[in-house]
Structure 1
């Protein structure tokens, strides 16, 4: 007989946004309270005694959640298990995190979320998505240098649409520029544009959507290349 899943019968979670910290107990308490639940109800949902969650959060007993309980709570509240105390799994050859089923996690960033010069900061990444090793290898890029960005706006239509996910190879920023689509920063604004270098060494920066302006003869020193777009995923 299959084990009954108590979470499935608890009711729909509202997925209220909360600010996560490095403390799994504080994170769980926020998730419970912000979603209008209580400690005893969540304990019973997990098949535990009514004081289980309160003792874990308030008294530190148990020291960490049972692995199955942690997985169910993360699934129920729609958060990563690491926020509830799961250890970060990493590829032994790289610094790229991996999922329990062996997928490499590529960090995700919203295009409009970045400001200031230089590369993208780690705290600008809020989520991640898993990809197969062989699939990533076919791209010819090191997974440790990849990130996912959601396109904001329609300036690259029809090639890239608003909300499309693009995969960016940040190692391209340290190599000689070749024609292609890049994520770049100009005047503290993060953009996705088609870039080409002319014979004079100056850049042509263009939008695929003819309703948006192009920039010709742009000094390479005025542009901060973040990375080259190597893949896109589109919602249907």
Structure 2
């Protein structure tokens, strides 16, 4: 998108057209009903995107929140910094539970972390769909610990499903778990690495909403 459009609805509509993303797809991406984005763009309802929806859309599309009607100084974008030629990945103020599950509602972007673009390419990550969140709980220990930061590739989810660690939703709970294909078409296992926590060995994929694959983790030295 080369030109700035002062109307956030028109700007979002243009972005989606350019990238081949339909309204229902984006609505599902942010956990809304299928008609939500179409109603916002075409009917003006709601009048403004909720702050958490705007942050998630900006992070997913790799654009500034200002483009979508947000504050001009608050950037939620996986975009290049011209000075350092780095990729700035938004750090979201939400936690994915590695325990019993957590609800992620109304959480803003709290900052950005710069990464070398070549390093991200070597990870196989899509800079346009990256975000960083923290782990809450110890059900994925020792692989992931409470308080760890994890980088989530939102472009690597159900369509490319393979065995790995994912951020996912089950019954509105946002959590991080190991996911593996189970016997039978459209079946998966959702696994806690910590044996003290439950594992779900055979679930229909339709009952699990994969948010993105975990491609990197960082933690404090304790």
Would the TM-score normalized by the shorter structure come out above 0.5?
yes
TM-score, scaled relative to structure 2: 0.58
**1:217 corresponds to 2:197:** no
Could you say which residue in structure 2 is the equivalent of 1:196? Answer: 180
Could you say which residue in structure 2 is the equivalent of 1:3? Answer: none
The answer on whether the counterparts of 1:89 and 1:97 sit within 8 Å (CA) in structure 2 is: no
CA distance in 1, matches of 2:76, 2:173: 34
Note the C-alpha offset of 1:102.
2.5
Report runs of 4+ in structure 1 exceeding 4 Å deviation: 82-90
The answer on whether the counterparts of 2:103 and 2:172 sit within 8 Å (CA) in structure 1 is: no
**1:175 corresponds to 2:165:** no
CA distance in 2, matches of 1:96, 1:227: 19
More strand by share: 2
The answer on whether the counterparts of 1:183 and 1:228 sit within 8 Å (CA) in structure 2 is: yes
RMSD: 2.8
Note the C-alpha offset of 1:163.
0.7
Distance 1:124 1:221, change over 3 A: farther
CA distance in 1, matches of 2:82, 2:147: 25
CA distance in 2, matches of 1:196, 1:149: 22
Alignment of 1:1-236 (within 5 A): 96=79, 98=81, 100-109=83-92, 110-111=94-95, 112=102, 114-115=104-105, 124-201=108-185, 202-236=187-221
Note the C-alpha offset of 1:88.
6.1
Distance 1:99 1:212, change over 3 A: farther
Report the count of equivalent residues.
Answer: 145
CA distance in 2, matches of 1:219, 1:87: 39
CA distance in 1, matches of 2:196, 2:116: 37
Distance 1:142 1:150, change over 3 A: same
Who wins on radius of gyration, i.e. which is larger? 1
TM-score, scaled relative to structure 1: 0.55
Note the C-alpha offset of 1:125.
2.4
User: Which structure is richer in relative contact order (CA contacts within 8 A, separation 6 or more)?
Assistant: 2
Note the C-alpha offset of 1:132.
1.1
